[in-house]
Chains A and B, each alone.
Chain A
Amino acid sequence: MQRRYHLHIPAIVYGIMVILVALAAMSGQNNLLFWIFGVMFAGLILSGMLSGMMMLGLTVRRLDPQHGAVGEPLLVQYEVRNTNRFLPAFNIHIEERRVAVKDGDSAARGWSDLMASPDAAGAWVMHIAPRDSAHGEAAYWPIARGEARFDRIRIWTTFPFGLIKKSITISQPQHTLIFPRLYELRPDVLRAASPPAALGHKTTSRPGVGDDYYGLREHRSGDSVRNIAWKRSAMLDQLVAVERSMPSPPRLRVILNLTTPTAQLRVGTPKAATKNAQLAAAREAEEQAISLAASLLHAAHHAGYEIGMTVLGFDMPAIAMRRSHWHLRRILSALAGINLDATRRPPIAGSVADAERAALIIVHPDRVDPSASRPDAVHFTSAQLSTLAVKPLGWSITTPQQDSQEAPPTEHRSLRAVAQSALRSRHAESARSTTRGGAA
């Protein structure tokens, strides 16, 4: 815990005024001015003492912010406790200190690198009673995916007179994940991308909560009256309940192909572009690919799919097929944690679950690479995001010009056409390359 007084502009101006009043009082030997000087000087002393005493009894704790998402406000709550017995605390500002973190092995970055207007974010608590606590809330606006690291929290006040700023800095290392930006995709994306066999609801050979008949069992306390098989119960002279089968929703696996290192991506930048610009464009393409994958999974989850995800290029196990809110969050966490600066690895054989009965979508950052995929897989590139997406979910920090550039094209092509276009490009690519891939 670090405590300190800050000299800031109002204090300097006030100090100059106090000196001027003292000089005027001395020059004119004016007792009213001497008294005014006394009041002003007393104000200076009291300001320092009171803010110091006030801050002495304060402790602050950051409540776990869980996770954030690009496009959604990240609300971080702080609990400020006033341990003073008699002295209330007023006008408490809470702010996060910047963290300079750039870890090569993880996606962790300082929170300020991931948020818009980091200097303007902060919480404010007007009053904390003695021996009481209050919760302040700061709103951050994430603009990039990743692991945001928080460390030091600073609380400060200029109460009572705004002259002396007293602060306490407390270290509380913590991190939170910022999920990639999600887009609202065109409604027929999933249906177009899924083979007909993968569509539609099916039942499984397990009891569950579906609608289809599975079997009969003895009635248990708590069973719904609706599930009682009345005829069978009458026959057996005991209550028998109908058991339903577990439904099997459509399944989708999204494979995010990040095997190609950023520097080797071909994102179609002009030849005249500098290397840094090319790298930036390539990195942007990778981020868009991640966003596209996340958006596909998000849309599939909301469409009732069981979803799974595989990320190629990193030591990241494939995420199995599930359908739940927590599962979606797990997938988004995995996408948030991708460190694009880490060394890329070639795909492990069999990592694309060929045998899995599920629709397969493979997302590439630059160009389609049909190797190691199933014949019925649908390939998307990051460049197609603008075509597939209707609008970003949440908010976006873009200029109007950018808005107009990134707006979906006016020509509304069918998704099947989009997919065919992707396949054509893949054929052309495979014809040019010597590598032989699976048929589209």
Chain B
Amino acid sequence: MRLLRSFPILCFTLVLLSIVGLCIAQNSVGMLLMAGALAAISWYVTEGPRGRSLPRWVSNVLVIAVSLNVVVELMQDHHDVLGVLSRFALWLTLIKLYERRSPRDHAHLLALSLLLMLTGALSSADLLFGIVLLAYAILGLYVLLLFQLYASYENAREERSRNMPAEYRLAPPAKPILGPQAGTHFRALTGAVAVSGMMLSVIIFAVFPRGIGEGMLKEVVPRKESMQQRAAFSPEINLMHGSRITESRRAVMSVQLLDHLDRPMRMANPLLLRGAALNHYDGRGRWRAGQNETRSLITLADKLLPLVEFDYASPTVIRQVFDPLFDSSVLFSAFTPIAVETGRDSELLLDRATHTITRVKWGGSGRGRAYTIYGEQEPSDDVLDMLAPTEALGIRGSPGNAAILNLARELLTNAGQPISPPGARRGSALHDDEAVWAWNATAARVFMNYLHSPAFRYTTDLSDVTLNPDRDPVEAFLLDIKRGHCEYFASAMALLCRHVRIPARVVTGYVAYEYDDVAQHYIVLESNAHAWVEVRTGRNRWTTFDPTPENILRDIHQPQAPSTARLRWLYDRFDGAWSRTIVGFDDAAQRQLAQRTWESTMTERVQGTIAAIADWIDRINHAFFFGPRGYVYMAIVGALLIVCVVIFIKILKRTRLIRSKLRLERVRGSDQQRLIRQLGFYLDMLTLLDRAKLPKPAWQPPINFAAQVASSGRPGASRAAQLMRELSSLFYEARYGGRPLTAEQVAESRTLLAQLAESLNLKP
């Protein structure tokens, strides 16, 4: 009955959890406070000392009102179907919480809570919501199983009382009929169902084909947030369509820098990880990459592929080991790439003009998404010429904005710089000489300083800014708005440069600030997504300029205070794993999993497991400096462990046997333990009788059975019967007399057993 009594509160907890889950998914603290408070109060109102509930007609009126509100909301904003649906489900749940709680109402509440979690899952894929979802699934399973019993009990009771004639009250009411240990069995069964259900659901999750039927319910179901969106990185910029810049501190990648001696390195300045170089501008705020003539396809096997000839032992060569937590088509690099190693069969596209690498085909075998880029910290002109044998700037898009041109000239004039490169004539191509490259750098610095001035303010909140679709958003930023995020700053500087014929491009990627001293690698966070500018300062040389105010940038990307950093770090780890394994599981990951699972045979897997165990033993031995003796010690420890396990299993089996044979299940607490310890001799006596082909029927008292044995005429039967009587007396004394056996009595029982075995001609 205690099991059934716990159902209402557990059901209420489940509903409360679903409300919290929805509010987390919707990221709405206000909704959480309001709905959570209303739900919590409902328990006091309905189950408190007064026990009031909402009359049916009132709840029906409220439901109609909420339904009308849904219609109105949908007419006002038919794009937010999911939000309206979730709010509708939330209101229905709150109304139901104030109603009377019959089994049917409980069923409604359970269904509504499931609906809340489903709408939450459609809205969010955050780790926090995932944790709530997991807790909901486990608690929901228990509550659902309990609901079956609760509803059946209530229905049975109600049917019995309903069918009973009014004037007759002598029929017994329906009572739950329970066997022994109902609660234990129920919890064990729930655990087994939870484990098997979880395993089955993971298998279904892994094998369900991805990519089929995508977008068929796009009016209602939003497309999931892609991992690239979650990583806040994009190989293009569109200033007219919001921002990808986020303040989320979810880890997206780790980068380890190794010098030529394989020692981890930490750079003095933040690490700018180049992802995409955007050199096409459409004059409407959109930057994109792409220039097929400068790209070349490179194919990698399971080994290193140099892009240029270089000396591996050179101190300027830095090995960058990337372990991205999201599935990106771009290979990042902080330095000029000179060699690539993916550890798998893959095809890559190298853009020799921008030094960017994109992925075309990613082989199945290999270790996750990790890859290594060899980079030259200060590449020589020879290296750069080898990397880009032909002069190909890849600059596209005409800088035809008069306002920006005027501003650029004004800035240069104010800085005392010429408004065009030295020796350049109007309409002619740029001259390839050092003076031009120097002027490029100087002019770019003038523009960068201008953008660093207090006139410009860094912000990611542009919700109050309305951009005119007929006006270049960069022009609006430079002349009117003067606030924005790094993409605005980078776009503005690149366009200022281009208007005075300085080749410039916007680069998107990450700026890595956070260095993990323990793991000795950089941790790249989602909020580290950044954009900056590269300006041509040599024939094949491009210099990096970051127009975003440095102090602001440092404040944004600075690691958190040490007190919270550890917790945050832990959460970010989990979040990264969650994003990589659960949220980012797509058709590619599915194929990879399938290949890993089916390509290796069972023998290979067994061999792999044995090798892993051997490796593990080696590592332990190595860690404790045992040397060859260590293997002997470990063999002894292993053998002892096996013996202990065998003994433990034997004791466990004997304990269970004594408990069941001597019917000790109903004896509780220490008494049961004592009886199990002391009454083993009685079980041994029964075993001896079985071996002697004298099995005692379960219904027959032992003294009576002893008399029967005595009269059987078997040799030694009378002696055996006498011993049985003595043993039975001891048994009764302890089992039913409530007197613990003394040490002497225990010893005596052993002696009697030995004598019994002797009298029955058996080995004890």
Residue ranges of A at the interface with B (Cβ–Cβ < 8 Å): 21, 23-39, 41-43, 45-46, 50, 73, 75, 82, 87-88, 90-91, 93, 116-117, 120-122, 124-130, 132, 134-137, 139, 141, 158-162, 394-397
Contact = CB atoms under 8 A, between A and B. Distances in A.
Contacts of A36: 117-118, 121, 133
A364 B208 CA distance: 79
Interface string B125-158: 1000110010001000000110111011100100
B221 A24 contact: yes
Q: Which of B117, B118, B137, B170 is packed against the most chain A CB atoms within 10 Å?
A: B118
Nearest to B129: A32
A394 B125 contact: no
Given A38-B204, A159-B148, A30 B224 contact: yes
Interface string B321-352: 00000000000000000000000000000000
Given A126-B178, A139-B164, A31 B217 contact: no
A26 B205 contact: no
Nearest to A50: B193
Interface in B167-210: 167-168, 170-172, 174, 176-182, 185-186, 189, 193, 196-198, 200-205, 208, 210
A132 B178 CA distance: 11
B177 A135 contact: yes
Given A24-B217, A31-B125, A117-B163, A126 B149 contact: yes
Contacts of A93: 152
A160 B145 contact: yes
B724 interface: no
A28 B221 CA distance: 6
Contact of A26 (B149, B212, B222): B212
B218 interface: yes
Contact of A21 (B118, B152, B222): B118
Contact of B224 (A28, A41, A126): A28
Contact of B171 (A46, A88, A139): A139
B178 A33 contact: no
A125 B163 contact: no
Nearest to B188: A88
B208 A128 contact: no
Contacts of B156: 122, 124
B49 interface: no
A31 B185 contact: no
Contact of A23 (B129, B185, B213): B213
A30 B164 contact: no
A34 B207 CA distance: 10
Contacts of A32: 121, 125, 129-130, 133, 582-583
Nearest to A93: B152
Given A32-B121, A124-B156, A43 B585 contact: no
Contact of B217 (A27, A124, A137, A162): A27
B168 A394 contact: yes
Contacts of B145: 90, 159-161
Contacts of A45: 200
Given A33-B118, A36-B121, A73-B170, A127 B201 contact: no
B200 A27 contact: no
Contacts of A91: 148-149, 152
Contacts of B181: 129
Q: Which of A28, A39, A141 is packed against the most chain B CB atoms within 10 Å?
A: A28
6 contacts: A27-B215, A29-B210, A38-B203, A46-B200, A90-B148, A127-B177
Nearest to B158: A120
Contacts of A135: 177
B264 to A, nearest CB: 34
Interface of B: 117-118, 121-122, 125, 129-130, 133, 137, 144-145, 147-149, 151-153, 156, 159-160, 162-165, 167-168, 170-172, 174, 176-182, 185-186, 189, 193, 196-198, 200-205, 208, 210-218, 220-224, 582-586
Q: Which of A30, A37, A136 is packed against the most chain B CB atoms within 10 Å?
A: A30
Contacts of B164: 73, 139, 141, 395
Contact of A41 (B189, B201, B586): B201
B186 A127 contact: yes
Given A31-B584, A41-B204, 5 more contacts: A27-B217, A34-B204, A42-B201, A124-B177, A141-B165
Contact of B185 (A35, A73, A129): A129
Contact of A396 (B118, B165, B210, B585): B165
B163 A121 contact: yes
Contact of B179 (A29, A128, A159): A128
Nearest to A398: B165
Nearest to B155: A124
A124 B174 contact: yes
A298 B369 CA distance: 92
Contacts of A46: 193, 196-197, 200
B182 A127 contact: yes
Given A31-B585, A46-B200, A24 B147 contact: no
B179 A88 contact: yes
A126 B160 contact: no
Contacts of B172: 75, 137, 139
A26 B159 CA distance: 44
A132 B180 contact: yes
Contact of A29 (B129, B182, B214): B214
Contact of B147 (A33, A162, A396, A397): A162
A132 B584 CA distance: 49
A139 B167 CA distance: 16
Contact of A126 (B182, B220, B582): B182
A397 B177 contact: no
Q: What are the nearest 4 A-B pairs in CB distance?
A: A38-B201, A38-B204, A395-B168, A129-B179
A9 B447 CA distance: 71
B177 A126 contact: yes
Nearest to B165: A395
B182 A34 contact: no
Contacts of B147: 162
A120 B159 contact: yes
B206 to A, nearest CB: 9
A224 B496 CA distance: 130
Given A88-B185, A91-B152, A160-B145, A35 B165 contact: no
Given A28-B122, A30-B221, A161 B204 contact: no
Nearest to B162: A120
Nearest to B121: A32
A355 B172 CA distance: 48
Contacts of B186: 88, 90, 127
Contacts of A141: 163-165
Contacts of A26: 212-214, 216
Q: Which of B133, B176, B189 is packed against the most chain A CB atoms within 10 Å?
A: B189
Given A32-B130, A46-B196, A38 B208 contact: yes
A160 B144 CA distance: 8
Q: Which of A39, A82, A87 is packed against the most chain B CB atoms within 10 Å?
A: A39
A46 B582 CA distance: 23
B216 A23 contact: yes
Contacts of B221: 24, 27-28, 30
A397 B144 contact: no
A395 B167 contact: yes
B168 A73 contact: yes
Contacts of A136: 177
Contact of B160 (A28, A31, A127, A139): A139
B171 to A, nearest CB: 4
A135 B179 CA distance: 10
Contacts of B149: 90-91, 126, 159
A85 B220 CA distance: 49
Given A24-B217, A29-B214, A88-B189, A397 B201 contact: no
Nearest to A158: B148
A130 to B, nearest CB: 8
Given A127-B182, A160-B145, A162-B148, A34 B205 contact: yes
Given A38-B202, A46-B196, A73-B168, A27 B218 contact: yes
